[in-house]
Every structure is written in structure tokens, then in C-alpha cells.
Amino acid sequence: MAFVKRPSQPRYDVIVIGSGFAAAFFLKGFLGRAGDRARVLVLERGPRWPHARQIQARRSSPFDARNFYTRSGDPSKEWWFNLSFGGGSNCWWSNAPRFKPVDFATRTHFGVGRDWPISYTQLEPYYDQVERAMSLSGPDAPWPFPRSGAYPEPPHRFNDPEQRLKAAYPDQFFHTPCGRSRTGASGRPVCCGNGVCHLCPVDSKFTIQNSLMEPFEDPRVEIVVEAEVVGIDIAAGSAKGVVYRQAEAEQHVQADLVVVAANAMFNPLLLLRSGLSHPQLGRRLHEQVGLLAEVRLAHTDGFQGSTSVTGHGYMLYDDERRKTMAGCLIETWNVGLLRQEFGKWRKALPVRLVYEDVPDEANQVTVDPANPSRPVAHYRGHSDYTARAIARAEQDLARVMQPLDVEEIVVAKSVEPSEAHIMGTTVMGSDPRDSVVDPDCVHHQIRNLIVVGASTFPVSGPANPTLTLSAQALRVGDRLERSNG
């Protein structure tokens, strides 16, 4: 085990900031190529809370995210994340679809947003590796994106309304790929179906702590927790190391390469605090927008699925409408309030509509001048592009759910405060004038500084981002030149 109280040496080949998905998959890719003498230091701001500790405390981290950033603009907007070893893997729900090929080229296909500087095809082998590393459960049926491998675990069981949607939309409705074990083949317990996946009672969903400790246990790696990086030392156009705070004292440690993997709220904060500037740095802060609905049914019972979310509908995802309004991924659930009418308790299909948003440059992260450890998240709201699609939610659902015995559809009056999918803020691109990092996530000006995670996404589709950011971080680590330490 490579956890140490403080770094054992003054200089490392690589310092990685953060220990979530982006850090873990970057390390996995990098260590696969690096020589025996490579030395890596991981600095993680939060503590290490194993699963048992989380269950005891009934929370996945000692910290409440709301105390770690300042809100500006829309007062109802929240940003959700987890500060502890393993990052968001401790509390994520583990729904893990890929982006579709069109999501990497929205400008080309729909005339909206920007194209990514890398394509689905370039990322595909890494998607496959990440799905295997997470032992995902998923469909073996034809899928809306091309795949080179099968999911390691079979899909979860649909509920009855989902069976009917599958029959009606064989090419648009699928089992949700997820990290909640279906058979136990992953080595993790089978999902208990309790629907409290943010704090999985049986440790069934994929987390870094239960399934991806190999990069952290590698003898070339040291990890220091409760060490908050406060800046990157930059001089003469290159990164020299980092400054971190541990038990109120500031320490310096040097490195040949610095990798920032602190999520889309803190990646830009660290770059800004380190004296870097760029017209795009911190900008394009966005996430998907969630809207809850309940499809009330006349005769069919729901809730029989074998995990919390079992269906993904692509009926509103990428048709022609996406030229004028946001695409939507329809999640169908087995968790939700039962109906209040006698005898109809289970006659419902809970739905979550997940809409993409087009990044707005005014939505951005800046440094709080009163407390530079705190990002300010400026958010004036989601785009008109997204609002247009949300305005049609009721009529779209009525059309899409026609194959069911619908009695009534109830759509929430307001959108959810957060989808917990923070993106944008250090966007990638080929042109240094309009992007912060290049297509390999290397900072355009500071060539030994890498930024990984969803902060590099120039735009995002309606699908959950973590599988994509993990595949991208694995690719970045894998493509670094072979090092002999």
C-alpha cells in the first residue's frame, strides 16, 4: 500500500492532483507504459474513507460540497461533487453510457456547439478498456454506438413497462449500462436494488476503492491524503512542481510533469491560482439538465427491475430536432414514490429526462478573492436551446410513451438543482486561441502540464459523462511517451 504521511522525496517524475476517475484512469494508462524507476506522487485533498466508514457515517465523505464553492447567479443552481480519496466514485450512481459518435461532432451534424478535436473512433478502444476495468453490466443487443467488445456482465432485468418500450422501440430503447453488479462476476456483490446508490449499502457499484486500487497500490506510486494543492509552480514556461497545504503548513514538491485531475470545478481554480490566464480558462461551465416525470399507468405494474435505473431511451436523443433544441436521454427507473391511490401503488414508470446543454461562455468558474481556495461558480442558467426542449417535455413524453397504457403523465414543475455532471472550464481543442488544452489534454503553453476530466469537454451530449472522461484520461496516460523513470 502506497499511502504515506508525506512525500518521501523532493522530486517526482509525475505529480497527480486528485484521486477520482480521471486520476485513476490516467495512472492506469501511464503506469502501463512507464518504466520500473518511474516515481509518481498523488496528492488528494480529502481523507480516505473506506466503504465501512461511509456506511457508519451514512455519507460518502465528511465534507458537504456546498461549503466548498460560492454560488453566483441562479440561486437554485447547485454543483455536486465529492471530496475524498476516490472522488466521485464513492457517491456516483454508476450509470455509464458512452457518448454517441454524433456527440463528438455536434457542429458538423447539428450546427450547434463545437466539434471535439478527437473522434469517437479514437476513443473507442479506451471505452472498451474502461468498461472492462469497471466490470460494467450492459446489453448484448445492438447498441446505438459501435462497440469492439461485449459488456463484462449481462444486463439488469427490465421492469414490465420497459419490456413493452423495448418491444416498441427495439433500436432506441436499451438496458442501462451501469457499474451495479448483476451477477457478481465483477467480484462485487450483486446489486441489492435498494435504490440508494449514492451510498451503496452492499458495495456493489464500481468504486475506485473496491475495484481500481491497482494504480494506487503500484510500488511506483505514493499517495498523500488530506493534502490540498494550492498552486502549481510555474516558471520560464514550464511546471516545476506544486505547492500543497497539509495540516495548515505549505509544502513544495517538484516534478517533471504535473497532472491536474481535480474535477471541472477545481481544475480551472488551480490553473487560475497558479497565475495562468486564457480567455477560455474557467469558461463554458455546464452540465446536463434533469427533469423528473412520472408516467402513470392504467394496468401495468412497474418497479420490477433488478437495479435502480434499468432503461435508457434514445427516442429524443439525436433526431433532426437537435438542430434547434437539446437532445435528451430518457432514463427509466425502479425508484420513486409509489402512487397514492388505493390499488394503484405500483402502476407507474418513474422517468428522468436528461437534457444536454450548450455551454455559455458567461457561465464560468473564477477565484473567490476573499478565499482563493474557493471557486465561484457563475451561472446565469441553461441555454435557450435546452429550454426549448424542456418546454416540450410533456408532449414529447406523451408521444414516446404511447406504447404503454398511459393514464396520466406528471412532469415536475422545475428542473433538478444539479445533475452532478460538472463539465467545461478548461476546454480542449486544436487551436490555442480558443482552447486551454490540446487534443491530448496537454496545456497549450505549459507543455509539461496536463489537465484531465470533464473540464476538457468542449461540449457534451445528453449522456452521463464519467465513462467518457475515464476513457479520455486512460488515453492521455497511455499516449505519454514511454518513460524509464
Query: Which DSSP state fits 101?
Result: G
**Is beta strand 238-246 parallel, antiparallel or unpaired with respect to 364-367?**
unpaired
**Phi/psi at 373 (5° precision):** -75, -10
Dihedral Cα 122, 125, 126, 129, nearest 10 deg = 180
Q: Min. distance of Cβ 331 from ligand FAD in angstroms?
A: 9
> 201 to each of 92, 95, 143, 190, 204, how far by Cα in Å?
13, 17, 31, 11, 8
Which residues in 232-271 contact ligand FAD (CB under 6 A)?
A: 261-263, 266, 270
Of 228 and 357, the one with the shorter C-beta distance to ligand FAD is 228
Of 19 and 211, the one with the shorter C-beta distance to ligand FAD is 19
- Please select the residue that binds ligand FAD; options are 46, 302, 359, 439, rule is CB under 6 A: 46
Of 93 and 151, the one with the shorter C-beta distance to ligand FAD is 93
Are 353 and 253 contacting, i.e. CB atoms less than 8 angstroms apart? Answer: no
466 touches ligand FAD (CB under 6 A): yes
Q: Min. distance of Cβ 232 from ligand FAD in angstroms?
A: 10
Element (H or E) spanning 126, and its range?
helix 120-133
273 touches ligand FAD (CB under 6 A): no
Which residues in 197-226 contact ligand FAD (CB under 6 A)?
A: 198
Of 262 and 474, the one with the shorter C-beta distance to ligand FAD is 262
296 touches ligand FAD (CB under 6 A): no
Of 453 and 458, the one with the shorter C-beta distance to ligand FAD is 453
Q: Min. distance of Cβ 391 from ligand FAD in angstroms?
A: 26
Of 45 and 188, the one with the shorter C-beta distance to ligand FAD is 45
Q: Min. distance of Cβ 305 from ligand FAD in angstroms?
A: 15
Which residues in 311-370 contact ligand FAD (CB under 6 A)?
A: none
Q: Min. distance of Cβ 420 from ligand FAD in angstroms?
A: 3
Of 26 and 409, the one with the shorter C-beta distance to ligand FAD is 26
- Please select the residue that binds ligand FAD; options are 16, 234, 451, 469, rule is CB under 6 A: 469
Of 421 and 475, the one with the shorter C-beta distance to ligand FAD is 421
Q: Min. distance of Cβ 330 from ligand FAD in angstroms?
A: 15
- Please select the residue that binds ligand FAD; options are 19, 186, 310, 425, rule is CB under 6 A: 19
- Please select the residue that binds ligand FAD; options are 212, 229, 239, 474, rule is CB under 6 A: 229
Give 254's contacts (C-beta < 8 A, 6+ positions apart).
Answer: 10, 11, 12, 233, 240, 241
> 315 to each of 318, 322, 442, how far by Cα in Å?
8, 12, 37
Q: Min. distance of Cβ 402 from ligand FAD in angstroms?
A: 28
65 to 104: interface string for ligand FAD, x by CB under 6 A: ---------------xxxxx--xx--xxxxxx--------
152 touches ligand FAD (CB under 6 A): no
Give CA–CA dist 419/180, Å, rounded.
19
Burial 62-97 (b: 16+ CB within 10 A, else e): ebebeebbeeeeeeebbbbbbbbbbbbbbbbbbbbb
Q: Min. distance of Cβ 134 from ligand FAD in angstroms?
A: 11
Are 32 and 478 contacting, i.e. CB atoms less than 8 angstroms apart? Answer: yes
Range in contact with ligand FAD (rule: CB under 6 A) among 169-177, 188-196, 289-297, 460-468: 460-468
Grid coordinates in use for 54? Answer: 461511509
**DSSP letter for each residue of 437-481:** B-TTSBBSS-TTEEE-SGGG-SS--SS-SHHHHHHHHHHHHHHSP
Give CA–CA dist 125/304, Å, rounded.
34
Are 371 and 381 contacting, i.e. CB atoms less than 8 angstroms apart? Answer: no
Which residues in 158-187 contact ligand FAD (CB under 6 A)?
A: none
- CB 160: neighbour CB atoms within 10 A? 17
- CB 367: neighbour CB atoms within 10 A? 18
Range in contact with ligand FAD (rule: CB under 6 A) among 164-172, 330-338, 384-392, 458-466: 458-466
43 touches ligand FAD (CB under 6 A): yes
Smallest CA-to-CA distance from 242 within 90, 234, 233, 300 is with 233
Are 439 and 117 contacting, i.e. CB atoms less than 8 angstroms apart? Answer: yes
Residues in contact with ligand FAD by the rule CB under 6 A: 17-23, 43-46, 80-84, 87-88, 91-96, 198, 228-229, 261-263, 266, 270, 420-421, 453-454, 464-466, 469
